[in-house]
């Protein structure tokens, strides 16, 4: 949020503030999705699924593999942040019982959350913004994401070879209870919210449904919504609008972002410095070529610690509980993933962009 504030204040020196620059549909849709996701957290559905799967594992590689797959697929619906917040604590509990070294599994679960979230608009904030800003359909977004998502899954599967295959003996995890009635209601509201995200239902219906679900499940979910992310979006919307009215900068960026390759590389590299959500908002003002931007900011979630907010969240959780060296192996694995998937993304742009 502080980076967004800084960019916003600098942009105000270049151009006057206009509230019309804010994409309110994205803000309200993001709020509704956040409320729904927090309700799912209250229902402990992801913890339930993970606990059931873990009971079936016979060695440490299987356990980590299940958590990585669950992180990849759950991030598509529950966002990459929720996948990390829910699954890493389970990993830490398992590590104490199975004497499992944590660094590689933590990194893989984090990468899986970032990569899995790229398939859907609710998986991460930049996809929701891209969906609304470029007026995409669900088919268009799935088409853009499918090939790189499948490649990402293969990459993660190969990385599991780094986890030792140590037999497990007597590792058990408590399975949380599930409120079936509330879960069904949450599922129905999720459908309503998604229909609102894709403009099939009115925005007001989406918001009322999400707020109603929050009041039903636990009114405290509204205290847990990441309002800092919403404020970050507001700042970057206004900053991007201000910067787009500054002639010298506008001409420079338009010249820089002339080709699919330059858009793609700019998206990846800017994500490494200011994170992929701000990079998406800022670069979108200067290009209508959505495919390289989409691939760049999503693949660009790998790399540095700040490339994705989910990376910082995982690092913070790890550091609170453990003192093992983390950054070197995180950087190496993420760099390898960034280079490999970055090359795949470049090939996809050449053939399908």
Q: What is the full per-residue pLDDT of the chain (353 aa) written as tens digits?
A: 545 555 545 445 445 555 555 667 888 888 998 899 889 889 888 888 887 777 788 888 998 999 999 999 999 988 898 889 888 988 888 887 777 888 999 999 999 999 999 999 888 989 999 998 999 988 999 999 999 999 999 999 999 999 998 887 766 677 778 899 999 999 999 999 888 888 888 989 999 999 999 999 998 999 988 887 788 777 777 776 666 666 666 677 667 778 999 999 999 998 998 888 888 988 888 888 999 999 999 999 999 998 998 898 899 889 887 777 899 999 999 999 999 999 999 999 998 86
Whether 27 is covered by a domain: the verdict is: no
Whether 271 is covered by a domain: the verdict is: yes
Whether 158 is covered by a domain: the verdict is: yes
DSSP 3-state assignment of 115? helix
Whether 38 is covered by a domain: the verdict is: no
Which pLDDT does position 161 carry in this prediction? 95
Distance CA 292, CA 262 (A): 9
Whether 322 is covered by a domain: the verdict is: yes
Whether 18 is covered by a domain: the verdict is: no
User: What is each CA distance from 176 to 49, 50, 51, 188, in whole angstroms?
Assistant: 9, 10, 8, 22
Whether 342 is covered by a domain: the verdict is: yes
Taking alpha carbons only, the member of 194, 169, 173, 155 closest to residue 336 is 155
Burial of 251 (0-12, 13-18, 19+ CB in 10 A): exposed
Domains of the chain: total: 1
Q: Do the Cβ atoms of 27 and 177 come closer than 8 Å?
A: no
Total-model pTM: 0.85
CA quadruple 49, 76, 332, 310: dihedral sign = negative
Distance CA 220, CA 149 (A): 34
Whether 39 is covered by a domain: the verdict is: no
Which pLDDT does position 286 carry in this prediction? 85
What range defines the domain where residue 287 resides? Answer: 45-176+226-352
């Amino acid at each position: 949020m502080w980076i967004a504030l800084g960019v916003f204040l600098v942009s105000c020196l270049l151009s006057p503030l206009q509230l019309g620059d804010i994409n309110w549909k994205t803000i309200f849709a993001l709020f509704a999705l956040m409320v729904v996701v927090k309700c799912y957290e209250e229902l402990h559905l992801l913890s339930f699924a993970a606990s059931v799967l873990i009971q079936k594992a016979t060695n440490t590689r299987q356990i980590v593999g299940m958590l990585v797959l669950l992180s990849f697929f759950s991030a598509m619906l529950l966002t990459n942040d929720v996948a990390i917040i829910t699954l890493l604590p389970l990993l830490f509990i398992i590590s104490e019982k199975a004497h499992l070294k944590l660094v590689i599994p933590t990194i893989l679960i984090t990468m899986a959350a970032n990569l899995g979230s790229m398939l859907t608009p609710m998986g991460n904030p930049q996809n929701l913004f891209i969906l609304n800003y470029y007026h995409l359909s669900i088919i268009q977004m799935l088409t853009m994401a499918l090939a790189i998502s499948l490649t990402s899954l293969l990459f993660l599967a190969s990385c599991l070879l780094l986890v030792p295959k140590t037999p497990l003996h007597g590792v058990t995890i408590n399975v949380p209870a599930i409120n079936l009635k509330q879960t069904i209601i949450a599922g129905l509201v999720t459908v309503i919210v998604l229909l609102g995200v894709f403009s099939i239902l009115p925005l007001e219906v989406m918001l009322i449904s999400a707020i109603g679900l929050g009041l039903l499940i636990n009114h405290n979910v509204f205290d847990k919504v990441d309002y800092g992310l919403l404020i970050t979006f507001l700042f970057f919307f206004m900053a991007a609008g201000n910067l787009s009215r500054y002639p010298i900068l506008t001409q420079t960026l338009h010249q820089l972002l002339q080709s699919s390759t330059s858009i793609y590389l700019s998206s990846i590299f800017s994500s490494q410095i200011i994170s992929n959500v701000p990079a998406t908002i800022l670069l979108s003002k200067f290009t209508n070529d959505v495919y390289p931007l989409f691939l760049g900011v999503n693949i660009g979630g790998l790399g540095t610690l700040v490339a994705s907010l989910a990376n910082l969240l995982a690092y913070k959780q790890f550091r609170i509980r453990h003192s093992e060296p983390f950054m070197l192996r995180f950087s190496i694995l993420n760099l390898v993933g960034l280079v490999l998937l970055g090359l795949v993304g470049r090939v996809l742009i050449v053939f399908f962009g």
